[in-house]
Amino acid sequence: MTNISEETVLKVANLAKLEVSKDEAGAFASQLDKIIEMVEKLNELDTKNVEPTSHAIEVSNVLREDVAHPGLKREKVLRNAPDSQDGMFKVPTIIEE
């Protein structure tokens, strides 16, 4: 059985830039131990004759027909723009030559 310590949880949380209290680390350590225990039980199953699948049931994509629809009028879109010029959004220059 794996035993995840609070220190391990705190170290991983630090690496992931997550703020975790000592109390939370203890709770997470316990929860992670239970998860690993369940996965270890799954490893005991004989899956030699089981075909690998990505889904338990057959799944197929249902795609709609790709149809173009009219968009918004340019004047309506530019009405909300802070600044526009010649029918386009005007934005500050960020690249200098």
Taking the whole predicted model, whether its pTM rises above 0.85 is answered as no
Find the DSSP H helices in 1-97: 6-15, 22-43, 74-78
pLDDT for the residue numbered 35? 94
Mean pLDDT within 6-21? 96
Give the chain's domains with CATH numbers: 6-43 (1.10.20)
pLDDT tens, residue by residue, 70-88: 999 999 999 989 999 999 9
